[in-house]
A and B are shown apart, each in its own frame.
Chain A
Amino acid sequence: MTVTLNVFEVFDIAEQIERNGAKFYRRAAEIFDDPEISGLFLRLADWEAEHVKIFALMKKQLAESNPETGKSRTDENPPEKKMMAGLAVFGIRPNPGNELNGRENKVDIIKRAIENEKDSIVFYSGLKDFTSTGVAIEKIDDIIKEELHHIKILNKFRERMASVQN
């Protein structure tokens, strides 16, 4: 059976991706002894929590402007709903906090965090096609830039830890 999603469901997934991210980072913060690194993870968790709010607001605005159909676009080339169902494979994990059991190598946790950030960027790249307004697209682009920034920060820590190990 082919799964399709309407635009509200797509934004639900985006919110879930961000909630998962926040849970993952909070769990990672508990694992690290180094206050600088655990502080970094808590900041990342807070940033992802802000993204949850932004997506929730975007969904609310969408519902107010188009309450009946759940469709975001009225042009002649609607986005392929199956596409986002396919992309949902990225970023949706049932228990993100349980991904980490406390025995992981610290570098591996950071690598996994980077992979999670990449998955979210791929999903949001598809999400843009579900929005009809320039403002919404700009907001999603801003979130993509922020996720790229998270990767930059994580990568800096990864390089630092690798240099300490070597």
Chain B
Amino acid sequence: MGMPFNADEVFKMAEQIERNGVKFYRTAAKKFPKVSELLLDLAEMEVQHEKTFALMRNELSGTEAESLVFDPNNEAQMYLQVMADDHVFDPKADPVKLLAGIETPEEILKKAIGLERDSIMFYVGIKESISLRAGKDKVDAIIKEEVGHIAILKQKLDGL
């Protein structure tokens, strides 16, 4: 188990997740023209999420940014650590490499659904660990939008 995260680090990781998502969707759009319009739309939505997380991080006061996230039972910390370190989800990994071996629109949509799920899980961990003032409601709104992305992807998948 690694060191606990502070709020600044948690938001930086969230920004990286969104940047990864943008890169993943844009690269995938070039490879799969049949579903490129949807993938580019999703990329744009992830750009907005990155901006939201960046804004939230900038709005943290110095004390809030450096302090450990509020987590009396260490549960959210544990979850963030699992997601960050446990090969489940690596924000530093090159998202383009995730496209290796994916050959069909069906496969790319299924992969995207899995990645959206992982990002939701990370944000649920963030939501449980930050204060209302630090933007709990904004994180909830982003979770809702990511859930919507899964629904859109699933709908497209069913229609192929």
Out of A83, A118, A145, which one reaches B121, CB within 8 Å? A118
A132 is an interface residue with CB less than 8 A from chain B: no
Chain A hits for B121, CB < 8 A: 118, 121-122
Known pairs A125-B143, A151-B79, A151-B82; A83 contacts B151 (CB<8 A): yes
Query: How many A residues have CB within 8 A of the partner chain?
Result: 24
Pair B79/A148 contact, Cβ less than 8 Å: yes
Pair B128/A148 contact, Cβ less than 8 Å: yes
A83, A86, A90 interface centre (most CB from chain B within 10 Å)? A86
Report the separation of the CA atoms of residues A149 and B158 in the bound assembly, to the nearest whole angstrom. Answer: 33
Q: How far is the CB of B87 from chain A (nearest CB, A)?
A: 10
Tally A-B pairs: CB < 8 A. Answer: 64
Residue of A nearest to B154 (CB): A86
B42 is an interface residue with CB less than 8 A from chain A: no
B44 is an interface residue with CB less than 8 A from chain A: no
A155 is an interface residue with CB less than 8 A from chain B: yes
Q: How far is the CB of A124 from chain B (nearest CB, A)?
A: 9
A54 is an interface residue with CB less than 8 A from chain B: no
List CB contacts (< 8 Å) of B92-137 with chain A: 113, 117, 120-121, 124-125, 128
Report the separation of the CA atoms of residues A122 and B155 in the bound assembly, to the nearest whole angstrom. Answer: 17
B152 is an interface residue with CB less than 8 A from chain A: yes
Q: Which 8 A-B pairs have the closest CB atoms?
A: A86-B151, A86-B154, A83-B151, A126-B147, A152-B78, A118-B121, A122-B120, A122-B117
Q: A2-B155, A80-B151, A126-B151 are in contact. List 6 more A-B contacts (CB 8 A).
A: A82-B151, A83-B148, A87-B154, A119-B117, A121-B120, A126-B144
